[in-house]
Structure 1
């Protein structure tokens, strides 16, 4: 055969690729390749060493007798495929959990055969999702989960709680609610903060909770020192677990708020002047530590404190993790059974809590099991409000001043007048110096009060802002205390 009759290598590769793979694009323009009949999709531009599309294409060509092709031919073929895929329909890719058809959700087991769990309104099944319904994206952080056991009769939950050192039954039900929330792709869940004395097994308990969702390769990490690295780690997995936190800087606190409730990061694409890379993220977050110092009010509303106690009997790592790996299929099966039962339960949506979706999930859990998760969640938020107030001298001073106000009567002053009033109340007759970080201007005071507004409202002090024709003002009102019979009816 003459050279003129030979099919160019790039055409051989392109024809083979289109016959054996499905190509599509996501909303941000990234083109993915999905092997026919398999739910896992890989970006065609990935050069990673953990199974990139370029590698699987080269292996397929070699095994099917088409030979070995050089990098230039592969690049030209993939350039053409990428251009053709830009005209295809947009379809999202998902990590670990995904929404499906007819109200179902999916859990990726991380298996090479693509088998996943479909959680539907009447139960759950193990099957391979159709490519048009779910496309999985996997990274080095995607671990493999065992096939969950059927007909567990709920004993897996008891096995899990026996391995953990949760201090109270209220803590246990909140941990269960969080695990159920992690199986919902559209439900923001607060970040569990595992705390307790030294030696209480906080890191071990955190690993167990993470590995129920991420497999035995899931682990805790140290908090990255910069935002870019943390966002990259969050985007590459489902549950992000940060270990042994001792301090929460303001930037890290704000970033954690974004991770829990969702945000988007945009940066310039490498080697370009005008292109950008978008990274959307909303992930379950888990933290461990003895004490992180002062907690900011906006993060406190997104935390779920889980207190652990020191175990009476110590066990070796090999014994503990051996038993955990053995019971994990039963634990996962029981969790899936309970998830189906909870989602089928009807309950009112609490409208007074910031994380309303999670509060509703707790109410559904109560309706299904009677555990009292919603009351436990309210109590945990109340404890966190106490922590915020104990760490903020301005909040303490505002509450001290509010105690002298007539209930239900508004007090209005400008921000500068409030600053003078509260500063004088703090210094007192002995003229003690103002603490570090105390507001220095009326504008700074106003900003601090806006951040403290939900915390103060939980203690019956309402802060509002307005203006007259001549000036702006801040209004403070002490909420009237309800009669005893109404207090008993309040949640």
Structure 2
């Protein structure tokens, strides 16, 4: 037997050692593998370094020799081919995943691959493994404490008003939901307001990372890579977002997909079609684009006085001791949200409708005053839009023009001249002031949603006396103003006990079915049942 085994090539030996590995592919055609190790199951991408090291290790234990690089490459390609062409299609998840029909699974990220399952009835540790994948930067969440309270978080983060705390708590709840738009959390304030520290604490309760805060990516490729390696992305010390970066962040927040050419290839692409919770930190008014602001949740942090300030090491030591209790309290609140969510219906809704429903469900679960969340959310959006318009010279000039003339119509060239009367020479020299008519027209299109919320209607391409490309500016009145209010008033929210509400977790159309995958399973590995991995 030993002689026969000695005749086998390293490729043959390693392939035999991988017979029990469950191979499958994701909806994006990424080859993955699930295998048992040290009493638990792990999921890895077949083409990852972690999986390659695993193959090297099992070969070394079996033969006492190192696997030749060529043999390793051959086996990896073979396993990837089997996963893509013969394996079932199963979505994989990072940190959070839908569970059954109305639950959420959370990967604790520890060496035992433990997970917590949250349902409307409560939460608890769960021994069966879910198809979570991990990256090198991912670190562990604490084991949650059943007796913990989420309110203990306010002893550590620099968020003082009850309205801001409610909005921040709703953002935390939303960060545990897959397959839905996520509002962009913007933490802003002057130097010394603990913006970065607050962001790091929030990350440590949702998706802790070895590198929690990162600088703003310079390209869409870098944004895509960051999104593939973390569930929550936090960008620190942002001064200003370019329109292109702003558009990419909008797609990442609410969905739309990112794609770029794969390195060292001519036609292969890598793409990402999912949403991510985002955190921005900066000093003041870092989100200027109205499209981005409509997706943002802006929390203003007050400066911390010298006699209240503590060293970061002292504060983080206290926070680490409290983290299991706070995390347990968050899971308890999340269970309450899942319980209340089917009964929440909005008669009309803001841009981030799913977030609004989660916020109202949290309000109900916490026993707060009816309408408290939507009132806070409406005030937050109005304040953010107002601040962005006040900081934009074109918006201020448009408002001054409407105040003076009420209604104005004409070409972009004439409008640029008309608006120039209301700005200083210094403002005209700034990069924020358009130097050409076409730039003014583009700028106004981006400002239009914010100006509409402020009561000013901007219309394009009207025809007056045969003149084309005419811009119209006029104040909104009556019903037009009511339609532009961001969220619905609290009185318009209907809470209907027993109603069958939309389940936000049941939106993944790529979920595998037994009919499409069971036929492939025996060809790959009979040891693992697909029932173990149904979501």
Q: Which category describes the TM-score, using the shorter chain as reference length?
A: 0.7 to 0.9
Distance 1:74 1:248 in 2: 44
Q: Using a 3 Å threshold, how does the CA distance of structure 1 residues 316 and 291 change in structure 2: closer, same or farther?
A: same
Check conservation: 1:39, 1:136, Cα contact below 8 A. no
Q: Using a 3 Å threshold, how does the CA distance of structure 1 residues 385 and 430 change in structure 2: closer, same or farther?
A: closer
Q: Deviations over 1:253-287 (max 9, x none)?
A: 33322322234332222332222222334211112
User: Is residue 2:36 matched to residue 1:42?
Assistant: no
Partner of 2:8: 7
Check conservation: 1:297, 1:385, Cα contact below 8 A. yes
Residue 299 of structure 1: which of 292, 308, 329 is its match?
292
Residue 328 of structure 1, CA deviation: 0.9
**Greater relative contact order structure (CA < 8 Å, 6+ sep):** 2
Partner of 2:133: 137
1:157-196 residue pairs with structure 2 within 5 A?
Answer: 157-196=150-189
Matched residues, number: 469
User: Is residue 2:317 matched to residue 1:318?
Assistant: no
Distance 1:433 1:331 in 2: 48
Distance 1:429 1:260 in 2: 35
Partner of 1:199: 192
Residue 180 of structure 1, CA deviation: 0.6
Check conservation: 2:46, 2:79, Cα contact below 8 A. no
Residue 234 of structure 2: which of 234, 241, 252 is its match?
241
1:71-86 residue pairs with structure 2 within 5 A?
Answer: 71-86=69-84
Check conservation: 1:239, 1:283, Cα contact below 8 A. yes
Residue 127 of structure 1, CA deviation: 0.9
Distance 2:364 2:238 in 1: 35
Partner of 2:392: 392
Residue 4 of structure 1, CA deviation: 9.7
Q: Using a 3 Å threshold, how does the CA distance of structure 1 residues 238 and 232 change in structure 2: closer, same or farther?
A: same
Check conservation: 2:44, 2:133, Cα contact below 8 A. yes
1:142 match: secondary structure: coil
Q: Which moved more, 1:95-104 or 1:264-273?
A: 264-273
2:458 match: secondary structure: strand
Check conservation: 2:224, 2:259, Cα contact below 8 A. no
Residue 335 of structure 1, CA deviation: 0.5
Q: Deviations over 1:70-102 (max 9, x none)?
A: 223333333322222222221122111112221
Partner of 1:102: 101
Q: Using a 3 Å threshold, how does the CA distance of structure 1 residues 146 and 425 change in structure 2: closer, same or farther?
A: closer
Residue 365 of structure 1: which of 356, 362, 367 is its match?
362
Check conservation: 2:285, 2:388, Cα contact below 8 A. no
Residue 368 of structure 1, CA deviation: 2.4
Distance 2:60 2:426 in 1: 80
Question: 5+ residue gaps in structure 2?
Answer: 480-484, 491-535
Q: Using a 3 Å threshold, how does the CA distance of structure 1 residues 145 and 425 change in structure 2: closer, same or farther?
A: closer
Distance 1:184 1:289 in 2: 26
User: Is residue 2:475 matched to residue 1:478?
Assistant: yes
Partner of 2:17: 16
Distance 2:411 2:105 in 1: 52
Distance 1:174 1:159 in 2: 16
Q: Which moved more, 1:166-175 or 1:62-71?
A: 62-71
Distance 1:168 1:303 in 2: 18
Q: Using a 3 Å threshold, how does the CA distance of structure 1 residues 2 and 362 change in structure 2: closer, same or farther?
A: closer
Check conservation: 1:294, 1:391, Cα contact below 8 A. no
Check conservation: 1:297, 1:452, Cα contact below 8 A. yes
Partner of 1:53: 51
Distance 1:429 1:116 in 2: 58
Partner of 2:456: 461
Partner of 2:381: 381
1:107 match: secondary structure: strand
Distance 1:145 1:32 in 2: 24
Question: 5+ residue gaps in structure 1?
Answer: none
User: Is residue 2:111 matched to residue 1:112?
Assistant: yes
Residue 418 of structure 2: which of 420, 424, 448 is its match?
424
User: What TM-score do the two structures reach when normalised by structure 1?
Assistant: 0.86
Distance 1:332 1:258 in 2: 29
Residue 364 of structure 1, CA deviation: 1.8
Distance 1:367 1:119 in 2: 18
Check conservation: 1:347, 1:367, Cα contact below 8 A. no
Q: Deviations over 1:148-197 (max 9, x none)?
A: 11143xxx322210112213111111111111111111232222222223
Q: Using a 3 Å threshold, how does the CA distance of structure 1 residues 100 and 39 change in structure 2: closer, same or farther?
A: farther
Distance 1:124 1:2 in 2: 55
1:206 match: secondary structure: helix
Distance 1:316 1:350 in 2: 48
Check conservation: 1:295, 1:387, Cα contact below 8 A. no
1:25-36 residue pairs with structure 2 within 5 A?
Answer: 25-36=25-36
Distance 1:173 1:294 in 2: 22
2:338 match: secondary structure: helix
Partner of 1:91: 90
Partner of 1:451: 446
1:241 match: secondary structure: strand
Check conservation: 1:366, 1:374, Cα contact below 8 A. no
Distance 1:165 1:101 in 2: 37
